Structure 1
Amino acid sequence: MSTNNNNEVAGEPTKTTFSLLETASAAIQNFAPVNKIHQHLCAFHFYSDDMTRQVEAHHFCGHQNEEMRQCLIYDSNETNAKLIGLEYIISDNLFFTLPDQEKPLWHSHEYEVKSGFYFLPGIPAPIEYSDLEKVCKTYGCAKRMGVDFEKERKEREYMTGPTHGVHPLANGGGKGLKTVLREVELKHDELPHSANRVFV
């Protein structure tokens, strides 16, 4: 299903000794937090600074309770998928209790769900619809990591700090695009000639 997945990862290939360690660890150690993951959501994330950059994002989620999910985000649903981020998903009730300075880091899922950007792969439509109806009334805070080691490094050379994944109509406060008019001066050689100011 993935279209953006480049599976060449820097570093030496896995050796037999490491594979044996993984097998032994899986049999002996406790993976309770990971085993709590029970849902696969797929969405397309957009970079907040460049809406033309879209990333296929496979969310593997566990419910902490009825109002909060934690999701690990991978670039595909294949065994060699790379972890590219994480997202906390909370109900609108919890979102409205957040401090005002934190709300701009969150985005509404309403547009993502209603536009079809958010779906549950392989789930029958009636079951999918039932859960997406709940997801539609949630907010997410996604922390993104590099999608492809070399490609992303090059594309993000000019940036500092983490980027936030957002949906296409997100603004800072999670309510969708907001139209703001401002008055600007026109240069004398610009149209229209009948005015020296316009609203944009």
Structure 2
Amino acid sequence: MDCATHSKENTTDVAGEPRSTKSTVLETGASLVQDFSPVKNICAHLNAFHIYASDPTRYVETNHYCGHLNEDVRQCILYDSPLPNARIIGIEYMITPKLYATLDSDERKLWHSHVFEVKSGMLIMPQSSPLVPQAVWDKAEKAEMEEVVKLYGKVYHLWQVDRGDKLPLGEPQLMTSFTAKEQFPEMEEKCDDRDKRLVGRPDWRRRAEVRADIPEPAVERDADWTWKKDQNDS
């Protein structure tokens, strides 16, 4: 599907005028002759919630579209929804513990773990089709989660959609992840609502059960600094 087809759906959450016929024709022509290799490298869609490092009371449901640069580095484009007219709201990089260990202490504090997201079932890989047998998808998703649970992520959001901004305003915002259920009192409500909206109606509680035997790696001291800084500064 070309860019012009994707652009037909406009959103009222973005400032500006609807796509013109001229723009649509130009995009159709460009999509026929250009190469989109970097985007084609995307091989996984993940969904979870990101928290503002500067204000842990604010969080955003985020769709990650990720690709591998190599065995130790992944990069993700972040969208506010899985729909064709979704807004790009940020980026995330994921690295292995081996690379995390090479960072200095100040840099490490910008990165977060994925252990709670994986083990709680909050982090999911949405299905693209409800026709895929559940057992097959469970196996594929669990294999991916066995890798993600070990990784450290660094996230910046560029568009603060949670406050209703119609453009990507202000400075990039460092984000982090939840590391315990008490940090996210609305977790059950928000995850239930999300699961109802996605293809196949995934069940985060069931995913937690399926992942119960995934080993929990130890989290490095400086990671998840948003939740540790008050304790360390006192």
User: Which TM-score band applies after superposition, normalised by the shorter structure?
Assistant: 0.7 to 0.9
Amino acid at match of 1:180: Q
Displacement of 1:147 after TM fit?
3.4
- Assess if the C-alpha contact under 8 Å between 1:75 and 1:83 holds in 2: yes
Aligned length: 174
Displacement of 1:152 after TM fit?
4.0
How far apart are the structure 2 equivalents of 1:77 and 1:114?
A: 23
Displacement of 1:182 after TM fit?
8.6
Amino acid at match of 1:174: A
Q: Tell me, which stretches of 5 or more residues in structure 2 are unaligned? A: 1-10, 129-136, 181-219
Q: Percent identity?
A: 39
How far apart are the structure 2 equivalents of 1:169 and 1:152?
A: 27
Q: Which moved more, 1:161-170 or 1:50-59?
A: 161-170
How far apart are the structure 2 equivalents of 1:27 and 1:77?
A: 24
TM-score w.r.t. the length of structure 2 is 0.66
Displacement of 1:7 after TM fit?
4.4
Partner of 1:35: 40
> What is the Cα-based RMSD across aligned positions, in Å?
2.8
- Assess if the C-alpha contact under 8 Å between 2:13 and 2:164 holds in 1: no
Partner of 1:119: 124
Q: Which moved more, 1:115-124 or 1:64-73?
A: 115-124
Displacement of 1:181 after TM fit?
8.2
Q: Which moved more, 1:99-108 or 1:161-170?
A: 161-170
Taking a change above 3 Å as real, the CA distance of residues 181 and 19 of structure 1, as seen in their structure-2 partners, is: closer
Amino acid at match of 2:141: E
Aligned to 1:138, which of 148, 151, 156? 151
Point out which structure has higher relative CO (alpha carbons under 8 A, 6+ apart): 2
Partner of 2:3: none
TM-score w.r.t. the length of structure 1 is 0.77
Q: Which has the higher helix share?
A: 2
Q: Tell me, which stretches of 5 or more residues in structure 1 are unaligned? A: 1-5, 184-200
Displacement of 1:59 after TM fit?
0.3
